[in-house]
A and B are shown apart, each in its own frame.
Chain A
Amino acid sequence: MHKNLKIMETIIPKTSTVLGALLKADFTTLWRNRRAVVMVFLVPIVILISWKDLVAKMGGPFALSNSLTYGLIAIGLMGYTNSIARDRDKGIFQRLRVAPAPNWTIMMSRIFVQLAMIALITTAIFIVGYDYDKITLTPTGYAVTYLTAIIGGAVYLALGQVIVGLIKNPETVNSTSRLVYFSFVIIGLFGGMGLLGKQIGQMTQWSPYGTVKTILAAGMTPGSWTMDTTNALLATLGYTLVFAIIGIKNFKWNTK
């Protein structure tokens, strides 16, 4: 029945090889979607430029941390969430899962791409902050901000995971993530500045928006780190943990 039996012996590829192939594909996909990436960058950059006058009054770290927080929210809620919802709906994950790639490598590759995005937006905000508002930080401030940006970005990635965990339809995921994103923007803009009353201001300060903004601002001037900042850091880690557990526990690899 069969003429030629050149069947290979079963080989389990190295995890690094699998992860490398996935990362290359995910970064290529991100690069080809650069118009969407620009949209994610647009809001924080516009806010930073338009707050030029506030920099003198509130300080550079205030403007940078607010702007960066919006960028992190956009990455987690719009970039990550929508790409996961689309690929799940198209069955792309199922195709990858029938290959000998452990499930965690598929997700890890996606998260690596988002971490790169976080580093990219942090750099972009530093550049725009310097270029337009002449904001400079100490070398330690720059280094710590990259770290706090990753910690802060993790909250919104985990929150995005909650959305794709609880909602299957990609259109609903898209509209929900936009709604949550704009809620954060509005609450951050008005609540954070105390324009919605003291109570809302307090709530905003301890919301995932406020705690991330606090650690980012303190990270930019490490000398200003206080007990409140440590509490904000702990709250950020707590939010990340809770969101990640809910998001991962409810996540389904397909929409059927």
Chain B
Amino acid sequence: MFWQQLLNGITLGSSYALIALGYTMVYGIVQLINFAHGEIYMFGAFAGLFLVTVVGLPIGWALLGAMAFCMLLGVVVERVAYRPLRGKSSRLSALISAIGVSIFLSTLMVIIAGTNPRNYPDIIKISNYQLGAVQFSSLQIIILIISAILMIGLELMVRRSRIGKAMRACSQDIEAAALMGINVNRVISFTFAVGSALAAAGGVMVAIYYNALWPYMGTMAGMKAFCAAVLGGIGSIPGAMVGGISLGIMEIMGVAYLSSSYKDAIAFAILILVLIIRPQGLLGQKIVKKV
């Protein structure tokens, strides 16, 4: 049972990780906790559903389509709600703006889709495999592989590409980066686009895996993912991955071996404990190397 529960935890955790990446990247560059990020994730799930059921795309294209849509949505949100405030007012007003966007987006989806939970049609043939005492499904494998590809791709992009270098520069010192001729606004837009695309991928996969999506799905998932980002060390990309997966495992193990009533309490107690011992998070560094 332990290994089965571990696999359950990793699957849950990888969805947290995909959302956590968006939080951590945005925070790394503009020190903004983008509370609307959970809603972007929700919009991704709905965009995917729209593409599958209304447009009739196969699921692979729908996933890419949802990612593209959320890229655009993320950039628009940044342009409309955050950029006008940047530099002119305190960080607190940007935070309030983020909460506003979050409420706006979930309410908008309530108007569009209603509050009833929906689900993806059974598009993927799921087969089950048995490995020792552990049973896993093809869907679980696909989700883990896609998550891994996205996370490795992101890490490579940040480490190796030109825009990645610009992102790292901005995270170290945004003013100095601007002085060096980096188009800071473009880098920020790009960061929102990438983070939103990852959230959309997470949204589509979670909605398929757990078979349900509804307008408020982003709220709790966003909270959890934010905690995962803090746990891993906010601003650190590998930290978000580690934080997401550990949070998933902690939650599942809490249910499995302690009590499910205290599932969230256990997970968050560990989170607090980690932060007391290592305030910078698991993989965060003392002089925070953001992004």
Are A and B a genuine interacting pair, yes or no? no
